[in-house]
Structure 1
Amino acid sequence: MANGPPTRNLMRIVLDNFLKSFRPRQMKGNYVGEDYFGNKYYEIPADPSVGRRRASRWFEPTAKEAYDQEITAEWEAWLRGRR
């Protein structure tokens, strides 16, 4: 018996990726700052060597369940990469 390359189970890969899409991600980035509402801002810098052309920027709101959290204009411009 010849030892060939391991077989990939395509359905298993699809199922694993589907289930991972429902898990909350724990993004690790550099803490950048905090506004006077208490929101915390993070960034993963751009790294062209691994294919990341733009920095990833996000914030954690003070109230985790509030999706309509108010942020200042300066931080919103920073999040969108306009500053």
Structure 2
Amino acid sequence: MPAPSGFSYASHADGTVVITHRDRKATTLRGDRAAKFVAEAESGDAQAVMARWTGAYKFGNERMARNHPRNKGR
């Protein structure tokens, strides 16, 4: 699975965090969720953290679905 890329985030003075993916707004976090996100993003792989928080990541079942008989030849 390729590593997530294209994510960025901006923290605002009011405590709001806006996560974008390829310059399009993906989600907005406020309050405790925003603080928890920033702490997690700064401590690990920020791209993977942003992909997980926005829900824009692969779930691992794509290969199984591709091999299902009804999807053969697609």
For normalisation by structure 1, the TM-score amounts to 0.24
* Max Rg structure: 1
Q: Which has the higher helix share?
A: 2
The TM-score with structure 2 as length reference comes to 0.27
